[in-house]
């Protein structure tokens, strides 16, 4: 009666087991068993036994040729410790800190650094594979001014803002974050598809319309804004503050950057005239990422005129006003700006 046996893949067996099978199979054949029956009993391909027999019959080898050997594999070029060191060099650091000219990490720069530090020359492809293994990927970096004061930022996050939040809670006041931004009708953000080597053309207005806007955002979803023309000065800032404060019953703690127009004498006079209804608090210098209102502008510029340029006869200030109204009507969106990692220090969400 025909018996079907499933063939066994020797690669699924550990080295010790496979070695024992080779030795026993060859020994049985030498004792007189048929090679085809022996190999069938172990479930291997018929031709396998003949390879083992040939190997064991080689001059000066015998059964030694059937014993397993430890595969050395391709020797490591870098040790695990060196790979971890490369990760520490790259993560959160700048090539210029190591005496290299370029300010962004590239595979070629990493090749140069590894050669300088370890005396090992790797190929660009090998370095790319290494970086991927270390969990590093090419990304567009966030920009930070070198004048940033890390200690001042830490004090703001750990001491200053918690004190403001505690005071606001005692007073039953609201905390808003304020910022201004400018918009241009002829600005196109993002990318589009086209044939390689043939840059696509996007139609936009020929007239250079521009407009500015100020907004104040609250972690509970409240949003105030105003669209205006021209540059911000202290007089206009006072006018905007007055508009924002109209009809408010709760005191407001307003967090904003240190723009000169925000600190003029007439601004201080206006704040004093509110008799404690309005307080201004200034963020550390060169740290716009601490302000969630920056994320409002990023959202509007990515999803508004940046995606759909103005049509003929359309006014930029009307478009921006409509887009900011849409943000105002979406408290869930407003609250989402406070969940970004850079503003995680804001604990009154």
202-219 core/surface letters (b: 16 or more CB in 10 A; e: else): eeebeeebebbbbbbbbb
Range of the domain at 102: 80-133
Task: Quote the DSSP letter at residue 57.
Answer: T
Note whether residue 141 is domain-resident.
Answer: no
User: What's the pLDDT at 40?
Assistant: 82
Same domain, yes or no, for 235 and 101?
no
Note whether residue 161 is domain-resident.
Answer: yes
Note whether residue 264 is domain-resident.
Answer: yes
User: What's the pLDDT at 58?
Assistant: 67
Same domain, yes or no, for 320 and 185?
yes
Residue 252 sits in a domain whose CATH number is 3.30.420.10
User: How many domains, in total, are found in the chain?
Assistant: 3
Same domain, yes or no, for 330 and 230?
yes
Q: Which residues contact 212 (CB under 8 A, 6 or more apart)?
A: 180, 181, 182, 183, 227, 228, 229, 230, 231, 232
Note whether residue 41 is domain-resident.
Answer: yes
User: What's the pLDDT at 189?
Assistant: 57
Note whether residue 140 is domain-resident.
Answer: no
Q: Which long-range contacts (CB under 8 A, 24 or more apart) does 247-251 make?
A: 248/174, 248/277, 250/172, 250/173, 250/174, 251/168, 251/171, 251/172, 251/173, 251/174, 251/276, 251/277, 251/278, 251/279
Same domain, yes or no, for 28 and 108?
no
Same domain, yes or no, for 182 and 270?
yes
Same domain, yes or no, for 273 and 329?
yes
Same domain, yes or no, for 227 and 324?
yes
Same domain, yes or no, for 259 and 185?
yes
Note whether residue 57 is domain-resident.
Answer: yes
From first to last of its 349 residues, the chain has per-residue pLDDT tens of: 444 455 555 556 677 787 888 888 888 888 888 888 888 887 788 888 888 788 777 665 666 667 766 555 555 578 989 999 999 888 877 788 788 877 788 898 899 999 998 888 899 899 999 999 998 888 766 555 555 678 898 999 999 999 999 999 999 999 999 999 998 877 665 566 667 777 776 666 556 788 999 999 999 999 999 999 999 999 999 999 999 999 999 999 999 999 999 999 999 999 999 999 999 999 998 888 899 999 999 899 888 765 677 777 788 899 999 999 999 999 999 999 999 888 999 975 4
- Give the phi and the psi of residue 28 in degrees, each rounded to 5: -65, -40
Note whether residue 200 is domain-resident.
Answer: no
User: What's the pLDDT at 234?
Assistant: 96
User: What's the pLDDT at 285?
Assistant: 87
Note whether residue 74 is domain-resident.
Answer: no
Same domain, yes or no, for 62 and 85?
no
Same domain, yes or no, for 283 and 313?
yes
User: What's the pLDDT at 217?
Assistant: 97
Same domain, yes or no, for 231 and 88?
no
Same domain, yes or no, for 325 and 246?
yes
CA-nearest of 80, 62, 58, 60 to 23 is 62
């Amino acid at each position: 009666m025909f018996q079907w046996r499933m063939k066994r893949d020797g690669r699924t067996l550990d080295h010790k087991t496979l070695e024992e099978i080779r030795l026993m199979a060859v020994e049985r054949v030498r004792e007189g068993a048929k090679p085809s029956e022996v190999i069938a009993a172990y479930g291997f391909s018929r031709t396998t036994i003949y390879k083992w027999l040939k190997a064991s019959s080689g001059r000066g080898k015998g059964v030694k040729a059937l014993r397993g050997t430890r595969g050395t594999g391709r020797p490591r070029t870098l040790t695990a410790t060196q790979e971890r060191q490369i990760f520490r060099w790259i993560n959160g650091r700048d090539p210029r800190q190591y005496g290299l000219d370029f300010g962004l990490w590239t595979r070629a720069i990493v090749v140069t650094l590894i050669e300088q530090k370890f005396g090992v020359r790797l190929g660009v492809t090998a370095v790319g594979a290494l970086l991927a293994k270390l969990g590093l990927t090419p990304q567009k970096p966030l920009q930070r001014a070198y004048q940033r004061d890390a200690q001042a930022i830490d004090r703001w996050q750990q001491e200053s803002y918690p004190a403001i939040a505690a005071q606001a809670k005692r007073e039953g006041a609201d905390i808003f974050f304020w910022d201004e931004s400018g918009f241009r009708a002829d600005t196109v953000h993002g990318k589009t598809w086209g044939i390689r080597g043939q840059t696509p053309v996007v139609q936009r207005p020929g007239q250079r319309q521009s407009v500015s806007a100020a907004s104040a955002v609250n972690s509970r979803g409240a949003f105030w804004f105003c669209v205006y023309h021209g540059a911000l000065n202290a007089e206009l800032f006072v006018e905007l503050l007055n508009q924002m404060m109209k009809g408010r019953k709760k005191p407001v703690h307003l967090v904003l950057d240190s723009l000169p127009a925000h600190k003029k004498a007439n601004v201080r006079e206006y704040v004093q005239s509110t008799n404690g209804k309005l307080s201004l608090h200034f963020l550390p210098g060169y740290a716009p990422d601490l302000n969630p209102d920056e994320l409002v502008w990023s959202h509007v510029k990515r999803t508004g005129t940046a995606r759909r340029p103005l049509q003929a006869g359309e006014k930029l200030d009307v478009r921006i006003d409509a887009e900011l109204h849409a943000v105002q009507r979406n408290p869930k969106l407003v609250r989402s700006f406070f969940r970004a990692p850079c503003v995680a220090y804001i604990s009154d969400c």
